[in-house]
Amino acid sequence: MKILVCVSVVPDTTTKITFKDNDTIFDKSGVQFIINPYDELALTRAIEIAETNSGSVNVITIGEADCEPVIRKALAMGANEAFRVDAQPINAMFVAHQIAHHAKDNSYDLILTGRESIDYNGGMVQGLIAEILNYPIINVVTELEYKDNKIEANRDIDGGRETVSSAMPCVVSAQKDLCEPRIPNMRGIMMARSKPLSVTEAVGESNYTQVTKYELPPSKTGVKLIDVENAESLIDILHNEEKLF
């Protein structure tokens, strides 16, 4: 049982987002970077499955050298080996091609990602990898089991959930509730220092899409406070002025 977990390095969830160079580049100064929370769930579940099935877990990320401390954390959580493709993750198509290229030569049984990264929120990489490799995809998964040489997963659908099974190899993306993220212990942190972290060059390029500018969403003009004695008047405003119902 050989599992690959794709890890994205993202700004911490409390980060105040600002831009520089005429709003063309995300300003990383002073920003704390973390493992994308959904990828952390994917990694934890991968480690749990590998532990009970005498398997192994590799992690891969696309990023420059400054993301290595975050990758070490993935190793400290329990991944066996890490791969970093030395390039900026310019768009999802580029990232997916790097991961698929690595996976082609390493015969993984299962490839796990988060359901989306919390920086660009694309939610595309998992599907792109699956299609490039011609593997089945199970998207937005809240429960994941490996049994009888098959993957069985619960996934969110609009207004409910469904249970899906798939042969391996396949690609699965993690949603909240999949598991409790594992916190590295001291032994894990020590061991992570000597685990292999290989750096490879990117293959190909992708100029299909590019970000030309960022802006901040329009902010609210100010709250209109309603006295608690007249709380009911909120409903009248929503009905008569905002015409929401």
Partner 1 sequence: MAVLVFAESDNGKYKKSSFEAISYGRDLADQLSTSCIAVSIGDKGPENLGQYGAHQEINVQGDVYKTFNPNTYAKTISELSSNIDGQIIILSQTYTGKSIAPLIAIKQEAALVTGIIGMANTSEGFQVKTTAFSNKAVAHIQINQAKKILSIIPNSYQVNTYDSTSEVISHNINISQEDVNTNIVKTEKEIGKIPLTEAELVISAGRGLKSAENWNLVEDLAEALGAATACSKPVSDMEWRPHSEHVGQTGITIKPNLYIAAGISGAIQHLAGVSSSKVICVINTDPEAPFFKAADYGIVGDAFDILPRLTKRISEIKG
Query: Which 150-179 positions form the footprint of partner 1 (CB under 8 A)?
Result: 152, 155-167, 170, 176-177
DSSP-assigned letters across all residues of 87-154: S----HHHHHHHHHHHHHTT--SEEEEES--TTT----HHHHHHHHHT--EEEEEEEEEEETTEEEEE
**Whole-angstrom Cα distance, residue 78 to residue 53?**
14
Say whether residue 228 binds partner 1 (CB under 8 A). Answer: yes
Among 192, 6, 204, which Cα is nearest to 103's? 6
The pairing of beta strand 160-167 with beta strand 81-85: unpaired
Task: Kindly write out the interface string for residues 83-112 of this chain, putting x where it contacts partner 1 by CB under 8 A and - elsewhere.
Answer: ---------xx--x----------------
Residue 234 in the binding site for partner 1 (CB under 8 A): yes
- Can residue 29 be called a binding residue for partner 1 (CB under 8 A)? no
Between residue 178 and residue 197, which ones bind partner 1 under the rule CB under 8 A? none
Q: Is 208 in the site for partner 1 (CB under 8 A)?
A: yes
Question: Strand, coil or helix: what is 242?
Answer: coil
Q: Name which position in 122, 143, 168, 188 contacts partner 1 (CB under 8 A).
A: 122
CB closer to partner 1 out of 84 and 115: 115
Among the residue ranges 79-87, 104-112, 123-131, 191-199, the one whose residues contact partner 1 (CB under 8 A): 123-131
